[in-house]
Amino acid sequence: MVSSPLAIEKAALEVFGEQGFDETRVEDIAAAAGISRRTFFRYFASKNDILFANFDDLLEELEEWLTAASDDEPLFEVIAAATIRFNRVHSDGAAAHRERMELILHTPALRANASLRHTEWGAVISRFAARRFDVAPDDLSAQLVGHISLAAANTAYEKWLRDESSDLADVIRQVFAMTESIADLATPRTGSRTAT
């Protein structure tokens, strides 16, 4: 018998893959997981919560890891490494993680849940930046780092989902490296435009 949220999540992913998220009922997930409907609701308030089964624990681990990071490392390199680590901890294989992220990012019914989780993730990053900058977590600079990092992570996920041959860790590193030099990207290149 299933006895963990992650095991229920694994069973749910299989059912979502077969039937689609919107068409899947809680009863379908419970049956696939070998549990009762009542037992399902001991773990999750709704099927919309399933893909975030271990999220609070992962956020706690992320914050601990960022707190222990060396101050000598560049800010966005640390955040990129933390983002990679966060995904490895949550992943039970690239295919399952890809399916999970596809659902989270592209299922309208999950947008509210995803937005709340993204806000929580961004807050962890903002607190890390605040410690680095020696400012309050609600300082504009710390908040900006949190929002930029969330946008960078989501950009990496979207690229990874579009290109199945890509490696998520490589894409995350690439996107965060671009984040560090975004001002350079915005600078017009000499000779890129001709005068009219």
- Mean pLDDT along residues 57-76: 94
Same domain for 68 and 145? Answer: yes
* Spatial distance between the Cα atoms of 179 and 74, rounded to a whole number of angstroms: 12
CA distances from 167 to 4, 72, 159 (A): 29, 27, 10
- What pTM value is reported for the model? 0.85
Q: What is the average pLDDT score of the chain?
A: 89
Residue environment code for 144-170, b if the CB has 16+ CB neighbours within 10 A, otherwise e:
ebbebbbebbbbbbeebbeeeeeebbe
Specify the higher pLDDT residue, 171 or 5. 171
- 10 and 96 Cβ atoms separated by less than 8 Å: yes
In a domain, 131, yes or no: yes
Overall domain count for the chain: 2
Same domain for 159 and 175? Answer: yes
Query: Per-residue confidence at 185, pLDDT binned at 50, 70, 90?
Result: low
**Which pair of tokens denotes residue 79?**
């955040």
* pLDDT for position 196: 44
SS3 label, residue 177: helix
Same domain for 45 and 82? Answer: no
Same domain for 96 and 108? Answer: yes
Torsions phi, psi of 35, nearest 5?
A: -130, 170
* Spatial distance between the Cα atoms of 20 and 146, rounded to a whole number of angstroms: 32
* pLDDT for position 2: 46
> Quick check: 78 pLDDT over 60?
yes
SS3 label, residue 62: helix
Domain ranges, residue 44: 5-50
- Mean pLDDT along residues 122-149: 97
* pLDDT for position 195: 45
